[in-house]
Structure 1
Amino acid sequence: MTDAASDSLFGGRLTIDLDAIVSNWRFLKDKLATGSECAATVKADAYGTGLTQTAKALYDAGCRTFFVALPVEALKLCRGMPEAKIYVLDGLFPGTAETLVEKGLRPVLGSVEEIREWADFCRTTQIRHPAALHVDTGIHRLGLSADEFDAVMKDADLIGSFTPTLIMSHLACGSDPAHPKNRDQLAKFRAMTAPYPDIPKSLANSAGVFLGSDFHFDLVRPGISLYGGKAIDTAPNPMQPVAQVEARIMMVRDVPVGDTIGYSATQTAKRSLKVAVVAAGYADGMIRRAGSTDAAPGAFGVIGGHKAPILGRISMDMITLDVTDIPAHLVRRGAFVEMLGPQVAASDLAAYAETIDYEYLTSLGRRFQRRYASIA
């Protein structure tokens, strides 16, 4: 938190609602099959919401298993969560086994080379340290092939050197419930893991939670849904928004009919316009592709419940908005415009920018004043 004087030094503010994140986690947890644990994926600074703050709020609410992408992220979670199990999704980087073990962290081993290095370290310390095994069921990124997994599990010296605490895979098309690849991956995962009933299993990300109990297994790993994002493309989003971006109006100006607005003159005033210039841009996570042209509209902000369409290109530090039809008392220098939040869903912005809400959330607020409070 910053004081009122320093608040004026920022072009905008990013408000994170930790209670909404916790509510989303509980909503997902209540959807799970009996016996399935709801973990939390907190990589990429907890999708832009603050890694340590978000993880601690979830831990205090009862979450005990966390997933990050990188070892450096995992190291930030070692304080204040003594019972937490922390998995590193990107696996075992060369030479990092000792550091992970010292901090009680668990790599997600996705290649034979990683497994051999982890097993060698465990034999050296004469302790069967825990780790997860990542199997590839069709996304073809990280993960052991079926043949590699079978060979590893049959190598008593290799698999006997450490303690596999989880077998996991990742859905490629979970956001589309009707896609046949979901059932294909489920069948492959069941076939690969069936011989090992005593090792917990995990297949579902956020989308997998909504695909039904067949996908839940022992643990689910929601990410985007925790942060209010839309996990299923073809259904309404039931999650609460958790972040709000408000940008400061720097000036209000008139633009005559026929004049152009912004870089490259992509937008022409079709009538006399009143334009607000706000202190936010693509350097703050307001993606440039969401700008407007004469051929296609762009995204929008909201001022006092009124939609304010973006006019022209989004610049590094500023955005121009059409406020012609908004009451003048709402549009004044120093006032704030909601650019993302309860009235401007990240998934809606993403549609204009031809991207996904993940990109918006993980890019937000490098220069905004960040605060933790309710946005309801």
Structure 2
Amino acid sequence: MEISAARLVGNLQVLVEAAGADVAVLPVVKADAYGHGAELCAPVLARAGVEWLGVADALEGLAVRRALSAAGIAVAEQPRVLVMCGPLGEDDAVLEHGLTPVIWTREQVERLGAAARRRGAGLVRVHLEVDSGMTRQGAAVEGVAALLCLMKENGLVVDGVMTHFASAEFAGSEQTRAQRERFAAAVRVVAEAGVRPEWVHAGNSSTIDNDAAEDSLCWLWELAASVGARAMARPGIALYGYCLPIEGEGRALVRERLRPVMTWKTRVMDVREVRAGDAVGYNATFVANEPMRLALLPIGYSDGLRRELSSTNGRAGGWVMVRGQRAAIVGRVSMNLTVVDVSGIDGVSVDDEVAVLGDGVTADDHARVAGTISYEILCGVRAERRVLV
């Protein structure tokens, strides 16, 4: 796997420009930077000047801190790290490594407060998540006031207030409109309690991409400004070159300007001629109708090449790129091996480079055939990584 630092920074710049000068951008590097390698991507983003990085849990946060330090970035110069799925009982690690946890339950507040007292940590900055209607994580709007009191009792300082939208890729979504209203109500509760957060943030890649007038990020900036806070959005997959299509009457603002950061490669390990009638792969799901030239690749579903990309005589599957041309997957993708058709590609031989992703085949292409989304394709790739400048 080759990771392009230039493309990663380029995508970040596109997102920063689209979000506007009044909305900061928090790059999300959770799930190992969506399969791209957080230890590679985090230093690149830090050197590009981001103020925050987002991870799922404290272990990911620790890995990012180590990667930044290993890259020669002093702790005082590192971005702040937001633990987006809560402390998960890792309160001591959160405090020791200077991570900022997202919290929303009484139990989280009490455990984190107890850990801070035990360690003599003093005041601890946290971000309060509000469940504005996704019903996944976050405090109910009605419970925010009581939770703020409990935070104060436990020495927690509300540095940020956040929420997450369930349908950001739908232009003019009624669900998003309702979520925005509930989130605004929660932010007002925070302000009325005398709490002054530095940050108010919401929105993923699609929120930045969605250019429908009613979905503009102006509302976020205005909401943050109303309580003296800074606005921030949290793009994830767009950093890596992908974004869900905008549904409805909206226009994609950044999707066509993004470039995939990952190129996933392998090499041809064998080439053979087959006759008409020869069965290829497990269970003879594909039988050659004519003489064919097939290449064997040392890659399979254990590496993240989805089994759903397999083909039969009646169903086309996925493809890879060989010598700049499409080579269709033939038969079933196996655990460690895959066969592709190179009949129409001149000169294919052992050790030829093959692009599994990149150079004519994308995670969106794989996702369409596999019946999933590009997120799952990218997160599933297992390969040795290196960064290209």
**TM-score, with structure 2 as normaliser:** 0.86
Give a deviation string over 1:165-185, Cα, whole Å, max 9, x none: 111111112233343222221
The structural deviation recorded for 1:253 is: 1.3
Alpha-carbon RMSD: 2.0
Q: Distance in 2 between matches of 1:233 and 1:253?
A: 44
The answer (yes or no) to whether the contact 2:110–2:154 under 8 Å persists in 1 is no
Deviations 1:63-109 (A, max 9, x none): 12011001111112222253321111121222x32321121111110
Q: Is 1:219 equivalent to 2:213 in the alignment?
A: no
Partner residue in 2 for 1:273: 292
Report the equivalent of 1:7.
none
Contact 2:321–2:355 (Cα < 8 Å) also in 1: yes
- Does residue 187 in structure 1 map to residue 193 in structure 2? no
**Residues of 2 paired with 1:214 and 1:185: CA distance?**
16
CA deviation map 1:190-216 (0-9, x unaligned): 122134453221111111112331465
Contact 1:90 1:108 in 2 (8 A): yes
Partner residue in 1 for 2:268: 249
**Over residues 17-76 of structure 1, what are the superposed CA-to-partner deviations in whole Å (9 max), with x where a residue is unaligned?**
111111111110011133211111111111122212211111111112011001111112
Which digits, 9 at most, give the CA deviation of each residue in 1:216-242, with x for residues without a partner?
A: 541111110101122335455431111
Say if 1:216 and 1:286 are closer, same or farther in 2 by CA, change over 3 A: farther
Encode CA deviations 1:143-175: one digit per residue, 9 max, x unaligned.
11122223213x266467211111111111223
Q: Is the contact made by 1:259 and 1:269 (CA closer than 8 Å) also made in structure 2?
A: yes
Superposition pairs for residues 78-93 of structure 1, below 5 Å? Answer: 78=65, 79=69, 80=73, 81-83=75-77, 84-93=79-88
Partners in 1 of 2:154 and 2:207 — Cα distance?
31
Distance change >3 Å, CA 116–CA 215, structure 1 → 2: farther
CA contact (8 A) 1:209 1:215 kept: no
Within 1, Cα distance between the matches of 2:169 and 2:284? 37
1:285-364 alignment, distance < 5 Å: 285-327=304-346, 329=347, 331-364=348-381
Aligned residues of 1:281 and 1:315 also touching (Cα < 8 A): yes
Higher helix proportion (structure 1 or 2): 2
1:32-181 correspondence to structure 2 within 5 Å:
32-78=19-65, 79=69, 80=73, 81-83=75-77, 84-94=79-89, 96-122=90-116, 125=120, 127-153=122-148, 155=149, 158=152, 161-181=155-175
SS in 1 for 2:54: strand
Among 18, 40, 56, the residue aligned to 2:5: 18
Secondary structure class of the residue paired with 2:313: coil
Give distance in 2, aligned partners of 1:178 and 1:23: 28
CA spacing shift, 1:105–1:44, aligned 2, 3 Å: same
Structure 1 vs Structure 2: percent identity of aligned residues?
A: 29
DSSP 3-state at the match of 1:76 = helix
SS at match of 1:309: strand
The one-letter amino acid paired with 1:172 is A
- Relative to structure 1, the CA distance from residue 244 to residue 74 in structure 2 (aligned partners, 3 Å threshold; closer, same or farther) is same
Give the Cα separation in 2 of the matches to 1:359 and 1:215. 31
Q: State the Cα deviation string for residues 261-309 of structure 1 (Å, max 9, x = none).
A: 1112222223221111111111111111111122321110111221111
Bigger shift: residues 304-313 or 178-187: 178-187
Q: 1:293 to 1:179 in 2, by over 3 A?
A: farther
Q: Distance in 2 between matches of 1:363 and 1:126?
A: 38
Return 227-236 or 275-284, whichever deviates more: 227-236
User: What amino acid maps onto 2:330 in structure 1?
Assistant: L
CA distance 1:119–1:196, shift in 2 (3 Å): same
**Alignment partners' CA distance in 2, 1:34 and 1:333:** 51
For structure 1, the 5+ residue unaligned runs are 1-13
Greater shift, 256-265 or 221-230, is seen at 256-265
Contact 1:204/1:215 (8 A) holds in 2: no
Q: Give the secondary structure class of the aligned counterpart of 2:265.
A: strand
The AA in structure 1 aligned to 2:362 is A
Consecutive unaligned residues of structure 2, counting only runs of 5 or more, are: 211-215, 222-230
| Residue 126 of structure 1: how far off its partner (Å) | 6.7
Structure 1 position 252, deviation (Å)? 1.1
Shift of 1:245: 1.1
Measured in 2, the distance between the counterparts of 1:273 and 1:37 equals: 54
Higher relative contact order (CA 8 A, sep 6+): 1
What CA distance in whole angstroms lies between the structure 2 residues aligned with 1:137 and 1:255?
59
CA 1:237–1:104 in 2, change beyond 3 Å: closer, same or farther? same
SS at 2:257 equivalent: coil
Distance 1:126 1:260, change over 3 A: closer
Q: Secondary structure at the match of 1:343?
A: coil
User: Which residue identity is paired with 1:186?
Assistant: R
